[in-house]
Amino acid sequence: EAGVAQSPRYKIIEKRQSVAFWCNPISGHATLYWYQQILGQGPKLLIQFQNNGVVDDSQLPKDRFSAERLKGVDSTLKIQPAKLEDSAVYLCASSLHRDRWNTGELFFGEGSRLTVL
């Protein structure tokens, strides 16, 4: 079974430029998450989709970050314009479903490392 695919693996941009990250979850997984992992910290949730609807985007900086999940499969996370503090690894994860007790396993991709100069 193929895992969660992300691209690009690495991206270097200058501040105020834009960047986009792509994620393809495990086939059949209804729930998709984007996390931001700053060096030395644990992952922080940016946005969660259930199929193609947004469930939680309370921690997404909406003035510069946007995300979409077309047709309930692939997802794209965009940053425009980027700031120095956006340097981080952006992790995509998926799960089979979002049960009431949230005991389902999250499956993570390898991440996209962003460096903003």
Q: Partners of 23 in the beta sheet?
A: 6, 75
Count of alpha carbons within 13 Å of 109, Cβ hemisphere only? 28
Residues 61-90 that bind another protein (CB under 8 A): none
Rule CB under 8 A: say whether 98 interacts with another protein.
yes
Q: Of 95, 92, 5, which Cα lies nearest the Cα of 50?
A: 95
**Min CB(5)–another protein separation in Å:** 10
Rule CB under 8 A: say whether 25 interacts with another protein.
no
Cα–Cα dist 47/36, whole Å: 10
Looking only at the bridges linking them, the beta strands covering 31-37 and 53-56 are unpaired
Rule CB under 8 A: say whether 22 interacts with another protein.
no
Q: Which stretch binds another protein (CB under 8 A): 13-21, 38-46, 68-76, 79-87?
A: 38-46
Q: Which stretch binds another protein (CB under 8 A): 13-21, 22-30, 73-81, 91-99?
A: 91-99
**Min CB(24)–another protein separation in Å:** 13
Cα–Cα dist 44/4, whole Å: 18
Q: Which residues make up the interface to another protein (CB under 8 A)?
A: 3-4, 33, 40-45, 48, 56, 91, 93, 98-103, 105-111
